[in-house]
A and B are shown apart, each in its own frame.
Chain A
Amino acid sequence: MSTQVPESVEEESTTETASAGKQKRDAKKRERAERVQEQREAEAAEKARSADDTFHLKVFRYDPEVPEKQEPRFDDFHVPYKQGMTVLDALMWARDHYDSSLTFRHSCRQAICGSDALFVNGSQRLGCKTQLSDLSEPIRVEPLPHADVVKDLVVDMEHFYDQMESVEPYFQTNSLPDGELDEQRQTRENREKVKMSTRCIWCSACMSSCNIAAGDNEYLGPAAINKAYRFAMDEREGEDMKQRRLEILEQEHGVWRCQTQFSCTEVCPKDIPLTEHIQELKREAIKNNLKFW
């Protein structure tokens, strides 16, 4: 990249003599790389062989760019088991020791970032929170249903985020205290009431499990409705705002689409009573409408 001509010339003139040495070094480096890689593969194979227990995973694979992977398929991985190992641990092991192109989202490993919602043995779960020992083999690991697959286990989350953002998912109030150090008081009971709804980690497991959301692309879905519940039930927002929130929720593709199948509640990794929240909002909506008759 240098523009200073004299330097380049100098470099070139030394290249000739250096080239033989460089070739040698390169060859050495290649050898070392091969040795390290072989060692690693051998160690992995040995670990898998000598483990008292291995788990058999069948993992969904697809990549729109790689010819061999354009046709979706399942790959088999046999992972040596360690006490406490989760589906995420197994996927990471498979990626780091067998196939580094195996692709999935993950980050915190402790059920708070919401990245690794997967379809495991036919159910939506967080990979990091699901113990291998609780599952029957072979363990089928697939991307979340009802979402476009980007690659392997990664799905497109745009639609989910759009729905979340469509319910005005932010605190709104007209009665902030004057002083910058004065709190808005909130009763312990009211905080308790919204507490479960605030636990959502946006993993999208609920949306993926919902039959209605699968058939109606405009349905807000359990997570977005729960987000609205979090604010509608917060006494600090006040009655006017609650009214407005109920209007959003009563729209054609809002709470009335829910058919109370409880699948969202069943799969929620944070145990949020989603169906109950949706039902409660339906009741609030009715009460609210009655007021105007």
Chain B
Amino acid sequence: MYEHDVIVVGAGGAGLRAAIAAHEEGADVAIVSKLHPVRSHTGAAEGGINAALREGDSWEDHAYDTMKGSDYLADAPAAETLCKDSPKETIKLEHWGMAFSRDDDGRVSQRPFGGLSFPRTTYAGAETGHQLLHTMYEQLVKRGIKVYDEWHVTRLAVSDEEKPEDRNCHGIVAYDVQTGQVEGFRARNGVILATGGLGQVYDHTTNAVANTGDGVAMAYRAGAPMEDMEFIQFHPTTLPSTGVLITEGVRGEGGILYNENGERFMFEYGYANNLGELASRDVVSRAELTEVNEGRGIEDEYVHLDMRHLGEERIIDRLENIVHLSEDFEGVNPLEAPMPVKPGQHYAMGGIETDENGETCISGLYAAGECACASVHGGNRLGGNALPELIVFGKRAGHHAAGKDMEEAEITTGKVGDYELGEVDSPVELGEAGIGEDAVADGGTAADAGASVSGVDLVQRAVEDERETIDTLLEREDGIQQAEIRERVQKSMTRNVNVFREESALKDALRDIREARELYQDVFVADKSRTFNTDLLQTLETRNILDIAEAITLGALARNEFRGAHWRKEYQERRDEEWLKHTMLSWNDGRPELWYKPVILEGEDKTYEPKVRSY
């Protein structure tokens, strides 16, 4: 068993920042990650980091834009924290040497992005995430922080008190991909989940293959609720054949969207009469698909994004990476022809419920970055708000876990105070189903751990449980392979739980997920080797995909309104009187329990009054 003060799971932007912050506070910190840190998906972020750095801009304006962009489903204390902390965290990256693009006076450059009232997106060409990830990894190396790379974390060691709010997280169980060993890691102070996105729930996504929502699913099974899972962001400009991302920076710099008739449809058909291509992502995604559905798409599938008029010099200066991506992955040279683009799954606004210090309702369990939902993004994330989220909340979680005195959070976590139970009309039985006799979602808790059991023992028991699960998987001689199950879920989610949603399709998705859960009971790993067994790795990931797909679909079915990225055919209006509340899903004795908690619209100095969202 390994032991550290703070254990960070995941080594993307949030994980690295959290580890550095914990280290700053003097904690013995280690990162456990299924990929080597420089392979993390933060590296694929292109656009930039929103930070109010300039005269004429202010964190208050940034917070206003964020609240409006969220369609009033973000919690004001979280959004304000993001906007207040982002400038100094962004400049901290500059102090660490990050190679930002520069203005003539040597200052870092900023550009316009969708839904922003000021050009406050700080960037490094169209490779901001790559530069950020590497700069932060450099700082990790400088500090000598321990990294267990290619270790796949499969379970949290959490005590089993009845209420999640009374539970404690003592560590994790991880599986060494290189050797197949299953080991425990005890965390004296806390575990920080920073496992990133869950795009692999869909088959057309900008997300890496590694983004299977492991952290969200693990925390859920240990008792921390998932929040606002139905809010999935579809990015309006992804390459049709692969899902490779074409940054919003292209539109920020002046790129134009055209339909098959060569019409600039954002204006022509009144989707966004003021901001046009620079409307918020949900608005542009719906506009594109409406064009396609009404027969004005190209090859009935996509639209064109044209940046040729910007001129080669400007394109190479600010968007060079896009030229390479379009050429390599779509065979189109964007200096000569418009790029084909369509919406693709891009980001999960929801995730593990946390407060603005990154803490969940389980003591000692934290989450930061895309896997977390401090509720910064609400119903729709603004472009350029993901990277500041990583550095701001990564740092806060790291500090808190390392024992630094933090201001008390205004956001509450867990079932405390004002909450109401939800109901949903599901066509099938939900939850449960697993490997053999064990449930997939078996709580992550040691079955019979009482208050008297020490943290070390608890971790050890979780290790034994996990060894058993893995042995069972490897011993099975026949059954169904994970690829089959995963594919079914991904296809159904893309077909049924996409940009446009309707009740019958959502119910179809729940049926498909139920069927996939049943198939998963017979899952088997054909590769019997303990060395670098990616078959086993993917099989373990697939059980996370099942839980997350179910949560997204269930939340979407229950939310009878149209808000942010969540469009419902039957309900074409935002219904504030009923739905200014967060969708919460708790794992409760083998099935998901749906409940709601109110949105906090009261900020430090003002209350954000919901207004009609037009761009």
Q: Using CB atoms and an 8 Å cutoff, list the residues of chain A in contact with chain B.
A: 1-3, 29-30, 32-34, 36-37, 40, 63-66, 83-84, 95-97, 99-101, 103-115, 129, 150-152, 154, 157, 161, 165, 169-171, 173, 176-177, 180-188, 191, 194-195, 198-199, 201-202, 231, 234, 236-237
Chain B residues, Cβ within 8 Å of A152:
532
Q: Verify if B456 is at the interface (C-beta below 8 Å from A).
A: no
Is there contact, CB below 8 Å, between B534 and A103?
A: yes
Q: Are B38 and A63 neighbours in the complex by a CB distance under 8 Å? A: no
Q: Tell me the bound Cα distance from A104 to B108 in angstroms.
A: 39
Q: Hey, which chain B residues are within 8 Å of A171, CB to CB?
A: 96-97, 135, 138
Total contacts A-B at CB 8 Å: 186
Q: In whole Å, how far is A133's beta carbon from the nearest beta carbon of chain B?
A: 10
When distances are taken between beta carbons in the complex, the residues of chain B under 8 Å from A161 are: 36
Contact A84 B331, beta carbon cutoff 8 Å: yes
Q: Which residue of A lies closest to B526 (CB)?
A: A100
**CB of B383 within 8 Å of the partner chain:** no
Note all chain B residues with C-beta closer than 8 A to A194.
Answer: 99
Chain A interface mostly helix, strand, loop or mixed?
Answer: loop
Which of A83, A151, A237 touches B529 (beta carbons < 8 Å)?
Answer: A151
> Which of A2, A101, A110 sits near B447, CB closer than 8 Å?
A2
Q: Is the CB of A112 within 8 A of B91?
A: no
Contact with A along B512-537 (1 / 0, CB 8 A): 00000001011011111111111100
- Name the CB-closest residue of A to B95: A176
The one of A29, A104, A110 in contact with B521, judged by C-beta atoms closer than 8 angstroms, is A29
Question: Footprint of A on B, CB under 8 Å?
Answer: 35-36, 38-41, 43-44, 53, 87-88, 91-92, 94-97, 99-108, 125, 127, 130-131, 134-135, 138-139, 141-142, 178, 208-210, 241-245, 324-325, 328-331, 447-448, 465, 478-484, 487, 519, 521-522, 524-535
Task: Give every chain B residue within 8 A of A97 (Cβ-Cβ).
Answer: 483
B525 contacts which chain A residues (CB < 8 A)?
100
- In the complex, which residue of chain B has the Cβ closest to the Cβ of A190? B102
A151/B97 in contact, CB under 8 A:
no
A14 to chain B, nearest CB (A): 14
Given contacts A84-B330, A187-B106, contact A113 B208 (CB under 8 A): yes
A-B contact pairs, 25 of them (CB 8 A): A30-B478, A32-B519, A36-B519, A64-B531, A66-B528, A96-B481, A99-B526, A100-B525, A103-B527, A105-B39, A107-B209, A108-B209, A109-B242, A109-B243, A111-B324, A111-B325, A150-B531, A151-B531, A171-B96, A183-B108, A188-B104, A191-B100, A195-B99, A202-B38, A237-B97
A162 to B479, CA, bound (A): 42
User: What residues on B are CB-neighbors of A165 within 8 Å?
Assistant: 141
Q: Are A109 and B91 in contact (CB under 8 A)?
A: no
Are A65 and B521 interface neighbours, CB within 8 A?
no
- Known A103-B532, A115-B35, A157-B36; contact A33-B241, beta-carbon cutoff 8 A: no
A180 and B39 contacting across the interface, CB-CB below 8 Å:
no
Note all chain B residues with C-beta closer than 8 A to A169: 138, 141
Q: Which residues of B contact A29 (CB under 8 A)?
A: 521-522
Tell me the minimal C-beta distance from A237 to chain B in angstroms. Answer: 8
Report B-chain residues with C-beta under 8 Å of the C-beta of A150: 178, 531-532
Chain A residues in 8 Å Cβ range of B125: 195
Known: A151-B531, A198-B131, A199-B130. A30 touches B522 (CB 8 A): yes
Q: Are B532 and A154 in contact (CB under 8 A)?
A: yes
Q: Could you list 14 further interchain pairs (A-B, Cβ under 8 angstroms) beyond the known A33-B478, A33-B524, A173-B97?
A: A1-B448, A36-B519, A37-B484, A100-B527, A110-B242, A129-B328, A169-B141, A171-B135, A171-B138, A183-B91, A187-B102, A187-B106, A191-B99, A201-B43
Q: Which of B97, B102, B241, B243 contacts A231 (CB 8 A)?
A: B97
Q: Which residues of B contact A236 (CB under 8 A)?
A: 97
Known A-B contacts A37-B484, A110-B325; the reply to A65 vs B529 at CB < 8 A is yes
Chain A hits for B104, CB < 8 A: 188
The CA of A151 and the CA of B180, in the complex, are separated in Å by 13
Residues on the B chain within 8 Å of A231, using CB: 97
Instruction: From B38, B91, B105, B243, give the contact of A180 (CB < 8 A).
Output: B91
| Nearest Cβ on chain A to B573's Cβ, whole angstroms | 38
**Residues on A with beta carbons closer than 8 Å to the beta carbon of B519:** 32-33, 36
Known: A103-B532, A171-B138. Contact between A183 and B484, CB under 8 A?
no
Q: Is A112 in contact with B139, judged by CB distance below 8 angstroms?
A: no
Contact of B448 among A3, A40, A199, A234 (CB under 8 A): A3
Roughly how many angstroms separate A83 CA and B125 CA in the complex, as a whole number?
Answer: 30
B94 touching A184 by the CB < 8 A rule? yes
Which of B38, B41, B53, B534 is close to A181, meaning CB atoms less than 8 Å apart?
B53
Q: Please indicate the chain A residues that have their CB under 8 angstroms from the CB of B130 in the complex.
A: 112, 199, 201
Q: Which residues of A contact B478 (CB under 8 A)?
A: 30, 33-34, 37
